Structure 1
């Protein structure tokens, strides 16, 4: 059954489960005119308060005793293999089939957080997000999503004339390519400490520190023992030229990575960037060479030139994606 603003239906349970928090909500309708899901009874609980996801969900359901959802989609920050879900940071594990039976659900999907991001992409609000690169999105073409955070995630919403599905990937472990002479020098330094210099080696929380150390070496300076937050603070205050150069390089170089992934995914429907890092670098990203490096793809430069790129800053992405997963399937 498709959701729309005039259909009466049992609310759909959605969840965003991470190492820090477990967030639950109910999707009560979908408005075709605004392309937005109605999210109600949105509650967040510290994951550490519960010994399992079952206990956390039981607690949430106790806050809405008048509603008994029969359909659910959970977005989780962990691997899903052969119907088994492992939330590594919490030590939680469950079987999808057992979970479905325990809560007497007629339908249950469990997806990872970047798959949820991909499902959510067509339903995001333009007014709540930031255009990094203008373009002409093809409404029937694939959409790419990516983002540096604790690691580097990437996925693709594959769209055909009949259906949509999500292609999950390990795009963060692609070998990082050098485009400029500085890129090459940095990779040379990074290889001294990392056997495989991947996208995630640089474009992640720990990656900022790796890039800072390499940048210091290239500039002939001794690096200090700084974490990503300290590097950002010193860069933004103007107290450290190496830190400033590190963040500028981060924003420039990720443009090339974003362009590569857009080509790999055929993302003429647009590329959306999330994760916890770049929204905090918004001004620097907009002033960087991101757009230039995104588009510089030789004979395919016209192709990448038409792809719009959006920095996603709105909240509730995993919940929207969980809702969209079920919405797309019906």
Structure 2
């Protein structure tokens, strides 16, 4: 069993949320300090994380970090951790040697999102529909972004235990008559339709093009920003239907995750897309699809759903863990490197 000293990290601690497009960092000076937000970094602007941190952050701050806790979009299997949707390969041993760090822990990016929903501030979430939180009960978080992230948060033995996974790649299929009209025009991956093929940024475009093709229309909108903006303003009927269907399908998958984790503590939608389309998520489609899980619809009506509106939720979760790692059951074996 790990001792208290084995579980703790030396301050100052650099915390980082590294996604497919952007990497966001903050510095935690000590256990009682608020995280100091540092300039965001575009992963495509630098060849390596060491180069990015040195040029964009470490050369510009007076207080050097002694530890780093990083959340990355990709599975952690060895000393070399490739990102799923970006060109970086995280090599913790290189970070120790080149950046003067003593300690590096790497976890999955949606583990960090799960840590953030253990005790979110009231102003950091917006409830969608009915239901109420059952205290000390499991939770789930989904985040449509560059891909579709999914994680659970299980409460056991007085500890919050994040459960990472690749739930964004579950199969998703047609149910309604309209679904069956659209489905033949969706672009699959490996011969199947995964949740991530629809419920992410590129998925919005996949769905928009399929809606247009099903109706014999030529797509006129060029990217997901145009589709979501046109949908929320009501200017383009195909865009309006695209976002409505997006909310429906997100509700179905969110409901599946609620059942998988028996998430009586709530299901949380993280990420920028959820924040941008929040007005659409507040309409009936998302919640109706979430609850439509016969024979368990009555149970689903009791489980609350939320949009996370904290702009840096993952960093908030990492900071909570960095302050008191013993409060969380984060697995460190094979994911922590020390100098």
Fold match by TM threshold 0.5: yes
Q: Tell me the distance in 2 between the aligned counterparts of 1:57 and 1:229.
A: 29
2:270 is equivalent to residue 274 of structure 1 = yes
CA contact (8 A) 1:123 1:320 kept: no
Matches within 5 A, 1:221-232: 221-226=216-221, 227-232=223-228
Q: Tell me the distance in 1 between the aligned counterparts of 2:99 and 2:41.
A: 19
Quote how far apart the aligned CAs of 1:324 are. Answer: 3.2
Scaled by the length of structure 1, the TM-score of the pair is: 0.83
CA-to-aligned-CA distance 1:234-281 (integer Å, 9 cap, x gap): 334434322222221211232111111111122112111012322111
Q: Tell me the distance in 1 between the aligned counterparts of 2:189 and 2:181.
A: 14
Segments of 4+ moved more than 6 angstroms:
191-194
CA RMSD in angstroms comes to: 2.9
CA contact (8 A) 1:17 1:77 kept: yes
- Summarize the Cα distance change of 1:242–1:136 in structure 2 as closer, same or farther, 3 Å threshold: same
Corresponding pairs, count: 317
Q: Tell me the distance in 2 between the aligned counterparts of 1:165 and 1:243.
A: 39
Matches within 5 A, 1:62-141: 62-65=59-62, 67-87=63-83, 91-100=87-96, 102-103=98-99, 105-141=101-137
Give the structure 2 partner of residue 323 of structure 1.
319
Q: Secondary structure at the match of 1:299?
A: coil
Give the structure 2 partner of residue 304 of structure 1.
300
Give the structure 2 partner of residue 17 of structure 1.
18
Specify every segment of 5 or more residues in structure 1 that has no aligned partner in the other structure, as ranges.
Answer: 3-8, 32-36
CA-to-aligned-CA distance 1:34-77 (integer Å, 9 cap, x gap): xxx72125333444554422233334233333x34333201223
CA contact (8 A) 1:248 1:288 kept: no
Q: Tell me the distance in 1 between the aligned counterparts of 2:269 and 2:37.
A: 27
Q: Tell me the distance in 1 between the aligned counterparts of 2:35 and 2:238.
A: 44
Q: Tell me the distance in 2 between the aligned counterparts of 1:263 and 1:171.
A: 13
Specify every segment of 5 or more residues in structure 2 that has no aligned partner in the other structure, as ranges.
Answer: 327-339
Quote how far apart the aligned CAs of 1:20 are. Answer: 4.5
